[in-house]
Structure 1
Amino acid sequence: MPAAVSFVALTRKLLLAAAACVALSLAGCATLSEEGPRTASTSLPVQGPATPLDRIATASMEGAEPGASGFRLMLGLASMDTRLVLLRGAQRSLDLQYYHLHDDATGRLVLRELRNAAQRGVRVRLLVDDLYTEDIGPLLEGLGAYPNVEVRIFNPFPTRGGMATRFGLALFDFSRVNRRMHNKLFVADGMLAVAGGRNLGDVYFMRDTDDNFFDYDVLVAGAVLPQMASIFDEYWNAPQVRTAASVLHPSGDIEAVRRAFDARVDGADTPEPVPFRTVDPLGRVTLGDELQAGHVKLAFGRAQAFADSPAKAWGQAETQRLPSGALIDTSRRLLGEAAQQAQSEIITSSPYFVPGPAALEGMRRNAARGIRQTLITNSLAATDEPVVHTGYRRYRARLLGDGMQIYEIHPNAGRALFVGSIGAGTQVRLHTKALVIDRKTLFLGSVNMDPRSDALNTEFGLRIDCPALAEEARAFFGELMQHSAFQVRLKPGSDSELEWWRVDGDQPVKVTDEEPGADLATRAKLYLQSLVIPESML
């Protein structure tokens, strides 16, 4: 799911909920209550007998310089295979932090593997944002009923119920509940980790029959792991977090809760994914096979882990460097500063791109310095958030006029991107949030280039200084631009009228000079909605 809530539907629901709240003389409106005592915990040290994941990480980092980290980019199904190896191989600890965990085959599979890990003695900590817990509340209760497991919830609503009810009954606390934890982080045994933009659901691993997101994330080993683990701890112990038990108020019958959980996650509607087996463009066999063999081909480099402070959920700004070396700072500011240090080229991938005046000015300064700037984002025909797209459209002609190249993903992108029948017949959308700077630095994480990531949501990311990895990401984006996107251009002689071109043949071909995926009625509706919904909410 996107960082932004679908605010057209939400606004309508909020109005109804607000009316109900007023009708009740505000008696039901509430704010966040205290939870009582809570036990702080931190990441387990890497010690004792070597676990299977310890051995994989050690073997894969052989030959790296001291202080280096190792990286392997993962596209699509390979990322699901990797997560399953980590879930099933962990013997010490599993720490997962996610914005959205779905009640579908993928989400239930992850929860099942977390239960199985706990049953073999692994300490499991699961932290989720509260926005989408309405459907998975019973599953979170069930997982938390097992020994060795603790579930916590970030910035919870004061009441349960549907989204409209929860927002409506927190009407006077809206500035808090509108701020969400968009982070995605997965650390196994303190030795291997996964970071990127994916949530845990079918649509992020090409398992949905209708709509799917394609994304890049990265398997990480080496020196940056303690930084990633300490950021998880910073959130886990934050005052903005509550125990799941204090939020969900589970039944006292633990055995019944466990039985209900088992029935859901062990059922026939939670099938194993089909293993992904192929050879990538660099000649490497599937990552899942390499993990099973005990050695992964990694690219070595230096990395910096960073995240917004969890206090951002309460409208507070905090900046610090943790003892591990991790940065707690404003994620968007860190990306902006890095972009201003570029020497030759910036490629930006963002599914939801609404730069705002400050970022627009930074891009203009870069253009004046001769920096080549390229943007990859969703077209209106491909996006799942049309209203956010209206915010982007306000800047598009100005960006083109300043020399930026813009590529918009077209709705049948999957045909050119995936092997065999993967993604066939489904809508495929961009979800990767990344910057490639000067062919040597890659920023990858959860950060969208929009006002919500900037001002409201917390985010997590990695700065990876590794030319080999940056070149690999750049090559993928090149394929994406050539085979799965429209190039957007200004009409000759115009500073506002646009054309959409295909560039996958011997010669570019103009496709249309009207917004792909939008008839006159759609454009009119989106324009009216853009007048109602402020850009700061996008």
Structure 2
Amino acid sequence: MSAQSKHMVRLIALCLGIVLSALLTACASLPADVMRQPSHSLTDDAHGATRLTDVADASLPADDDNISGLRLLPDGGQALEARMALAHAAGRTIDAQYYQIANDASGREFLHALARAADRGVRVRLLIDDLHAGGEDDLLAGLAATPNVEVRMFNPLAVRGGAVPSRVLLSLNDFSRVNRRMHNKLFIVDNAFAISGGRNIGDAYFGRSQPANFIDMDVLAAGKVVREQSAVFDAYWNSEHAYPIQSLVSTERLPQAARAQFDAWAQGSAGTTAVQAMAERDLLGQGPVGAQLASGRIDLHLATVRVMADAPMKATHEQSLADSTVMNGNLELLQSARSDVLVTSPYFIPDTRMLDILQASTARKVRVAVLTNSLATTDEPLVHVGYSRYRDELLDMGVALYEMMPGVDAPQATAAVSHGSLGRLHAKLAVVDHRWLSIGSMNMDRRSAHSNTEMGLVIDSPELAMQVATLLQREQLPRSYQLRMQPGAARPKLQWVAPSTTQPLVFSAEPSRNWRRQLGVSFTSMFVSEQLL
């Protein structure tokens, strides 16, 4: 048999195996009549103060219960250290809600911190979207075996093991449901401090990865906004879409053995800790959160904040595709602009309503700029194809487009310790009229609008808006291509202009394009709806 024939036989066998597996799992289903013990956030009014509630009180004005205090976390190392410092200081509760917790050093350090808090008597509730949790059931069940810890999986797949593609493939019989994911990122301690924004839990989000790290942004909050975020967490936690990990796992291990396995896994990480990986000062000149916690007060910007959150029911296929509280809130913010708009989104695929709002804004002489990933820096090439279909139209209506350039070290805003790695944009931000700042988990794309649940904050703070705008203009835009139509060309033709210390470099073909790979991605995109990107 020739090599080509052998390859064909292997391919056919693989296809048959996939089909057989799909048939065998087609009847797999989630457990029915799942017992979910309702629980809610605990307040110091009913349960007494803790060290963190005292620090929060000392960091906020005593005469205004409606104000919130906020601090940006642009540095990856400090963003992880802040979570660890809060977890170590927790006195009553930890509520954590994430789309992904990676099985790496950062993920292990984070989960181990939750277990240590529980050992001190802190109530821990951990809610994880199930898509990226394949193969981690035993470990999460081990964490859940710890007294004071509950772990729930949001919108779980019936197929428990394997990588994401295989789990999705084997769930095609239930695709309309499993396609809808919980994309929220939220960490609340003692109902006193919360961290939200764009970061999942994993090395790439905290500047500790190779070959690429994510450029991202979180915000630390205290005051009224935290109480509202706790209410959002409670709604998700008590939702019918949140399944206790024990209802999904069949294990004969005793709780003590399950916890011992978890401890061995969590403590088995090598490398630097969060404290070792962070800079003394971030790009805003701020020191670590842990040191300020120890001093009894955290420097916060006072502002009014609006919490935006999609309902957990967005995860059911019966919901309307237009039911997106967070997307609607962000579009309303953009629509309100009077002078300028600066948007950063790693994945940017505008729909008709967004295009209409941007067109109306530029017609009113509002300056609109969008920063997203280039072909070289994106981790989702299919999404980039979807975005590329709108570049000409966006430029024609007067939107300034910027794409992150490859080949530069992740700046301090991403990683305190330079790894010489590729920086990928992951921050989801909008600055409007030098006053309003939107920050959260939502990308400006169809998936965030229609398929994922999202969460975000709209902050009325010229100080924080200026901090973000300055960071982007100082750190990211000089590291980005600016797109334009070729001047004087008979036919419209895109150009990418790269900043230079001498003369800007102009590319008439998309930089870093690999035609062979791009052909395959473009071909695949013909069969994938933009609603899925």
Instruction: Report the TM-score, using the length of structure 2 for normalisation.
Output: 0.91
1:335 correspondence with 2:330? yes
Superimposed CA distance per residue, residues 55-93 of structure 1 (whole angstroms, 9 cap, x where no aligned partner): 221111137744110110001211011001111000110
1:242 correspondence with 2:243? yes
- Partner of 2:390: helix, strand, or coil? helix
- Partner of 1:334: helix, strand, or coil? helix
How far off its partner does 1:415 sit? 5.2
- Partner of 2:308: helix, strand, or coil? strand
Counterpart of 2:38 in structure 1 is 40
Give the Cα–Cα distance (whole angstroms) in 2 for the partners of residues 461 and 534 of structure 1.
Answer: 26
Name the aligned partner's letter for residue 35 of structure 2: P
How far off its partner does 1:203 sit? 0.5
Superimposed CA distance per residue, residues 304-332 of structure 1 (whole angstroms, 9 cap, x where no aligned partner): 1111111111124489xxxxxxxx95211
Name the aligned partner's letter for residue 245 of structure 1: Q
The two structures, once aligned, show a CA RMSD in angstroms of 2.4
The 3 A distance-change label for structure 1 pair 17 and 404 is farther
Counterpart of 1:503 in structure 2 is 499
How far off its partner does 1:196 sit? 0.3
Counterpart of 1:315 in structure 2 is 317
Superimposed CA distance per residue, residues 325-378 of structure 1 (whole angstroms, 9 cap, x where no aligned partner): xxx952111111111111111110000111122211221111111111010111
CA contact (8 A) 1:482 1:504 kept: no
- Partner of 1:232: helix, strand, or coil? helix
Give the Cα–Cα distance (whole angstroms) in 2 for the partners of residues 444 and 57 of structure 1.
Answer: 21
Superimposed CA distance per residue, residues 148-169 of structure 1 (whole angstroms, 9 cap, x where no aligned partner): 0000010011231223443344
Counterpart of 1:59 in structure 2 is 58
Give the Cα–Cα distance (whole angstroms) in 2 for the partners of residues 205 and 421 of structure 1.
Answer: 9
Counterpart of 2:382 in structure 1 is 387
**Structure 1 residues 81-480: aligned runs within 5 Å:** 81-162=81-162, 163-269=164-270, 271-273=272-274, 274-317=276-319, 330-414=325-409, 416-417=411-412, 422-480=417-475
Give the Cα–Cα distance (whole angstroms) in 2 for the partners of residues 82 and 73 of structure 1.
Answer: 11
Name the aligned partner's letter for residue 32 of structure 2: E
CA contact (8 A) 1:30 1:169 kept: no
Name the aligned partner's letter for residue 390 of structure 2: Y
Superimposed CA distance per residue, residues 170-196 of structure 1 (whole angstroms, 9 cap, x where no aligned partner): 322110011110000000000000000
Give the Cα–Cα distance (whole angstroms) in 2 for the partners of residues 529 and 188 of structure 1.
Answer: 44
CA contact (8 A) 2:104 2:269 kept: no
How far off its partner does 1:97 sit? 0.2
Give the Cα–Cα distance (whole angstroms) in 1 for the partners of residues 172 and 525 of structure 2.
Answer: 22
Give the Cα–Cα distance (whole angstroms) in 2 for the partners of residues 126 and 114 of structure 1.
Answer: 9
CA contact (8 A) 1:413 1:485 kept: no
The 3 A distance-change label for structure 1 pair 131 and 35 is farther
Name the aligned partner's letter for residue 121 of structure 1: G
- Partner of 2:402: helix, strand, or coil? strand
Superimposed CA distance per residue, residues 482-530 of structure 1 (whole angstroms, 9 cap, x where no aligned partner): 432111111113574111122353x660241111111332332332122
Give the Cα–Cα distance (whole angstroms) in 2 for the partners of residues 16 and 98 of structure 1.
Answer: 36
The 3 A distance-change label for structure 1 pair 27 and 389 is closer
How far off its partner does 1:419 sit? 9.2
Name the aligned partner's letter for residue 301 of structure 2: A
- Partner of 1:474: helix, strand, or coil? helix
The 3 A distance-change label for structure 1 pair 38 and 516 is same
Name the aligned partner's letter for residue 29 of structure 1: C
The 3 A distance-change label for structure 1 pair 221 and 341 is same
1:77 correspondence with 2:73? no
- Partner of 1:176: helix, strand, or coil? helix
Name the aligned partner's letter for residue 122 of structure 1: V
Give the Cα–Cα distance (whole angstroms) in 1 for the partners of residues 205 and 520 of structure 2.
Answer: 29
Aligned mate of 1:31, from 5, 29, 32: 29
- Partner of 1:187: helix, strand, or coil? strand
CA contact (8 A) 2:107 2:201 kept: yes
CA contact (8 A) 2:135 2:161 kept: no
- Partner of 1:55: helix, strand, or coil? helix
- Partner of 2:44: helix, strand, or coil? coil
Give the Cα–Cα distance (whole angstroms) in 2 for the partners of residues 509 and 44 of structure 1.
Answer: 56
Give the Cα–Cα distance (whole angstroms) in 1 for the partners of residues 503 and 353 of structure 2.
Answer: 33
- Partner of 2:222: helix, strand, or coil? strand
| Percent of aligned pairs with the same amino acid | 39
Counterpart of 1:323 in structure 2 is none
Give the Cα–Cα distance (whole angstroms) in 2 for the partners of residues 51 and 88 of structure 1.
Answer: 13
How far off its partner does 1:208 sit? 0.8
CA contact (8 A) 1:29 1:171 kept: no
- Partner of 1:532: helix, strand, or coil? coil
Give the Cα–Cα distance (whole angstroms) in 1 for the partners of residues 341 and 125 of structure 2.
Answer: 37
Give the Cα–Cα distance (whole angstroms) in 1 for the partners of residues 437 and 327 of structure 2.
Answer: 15
Counterpart of 2:517 in structure 1 is 522
Q: Which is further off, 339-348 or 166-175?
A: 166-175
Name the aligned partner's letter for residue 496 of structure 2: W
- Partner of 1:414: helix, strand, or coil? coil
Give the Cα–Cα distance (whole angstroms) in 2 for the partners of residues 247 and 429 of structure 1.
Answer: 35
Q: Which is further off, 397-406 or 160-169?
A: 160-169
Give the Cα–Cα distance (whole angstroms) in 2 for the partners of residues 58 and 498 of structure 1.
Answer: 54
Q: Which is further off, 169-178 or 444-453?
A: 169-178
CA contact (8 A) 1:407 1:485 kept: yes
- Partner of 1:132: helix, strand, or coil? helix
CA contact (8 A) 1:82 1:291 kept: no
The 3 A distance-change label for structure 1 pair 418 and 180 is closer
The 3 A distance-change label for structure 1 pair 515 and 417 is farther
The 3 A distance-change label for structure 1 pair 444 and 261 is same
Name the aligned partner's letter for residue 207 of structure 1: R
Superimposed CA distance per residue, residues 239-264 of structure 1 (whole angstroms, 9 cap, x where no aligned partner): 11111110123334111111111111
Counterpart of 1:3 in structure 2 is none
Instruction: Report the TM-score, using the length of structure 1 for normalisation.
Output: 0.90
Q: Which is further off, 407-416 or 72-81?
A: 407-416
Give the Cα–Cα distance (whole angstroms) in 2 for the partners of residues 330 and 317 of structure 1.
Answer: 13
Give the Cα–Cα distance (whole angstroms) in 1 for the partners of residues 267 and 474 of structure 2.
Answer: 39
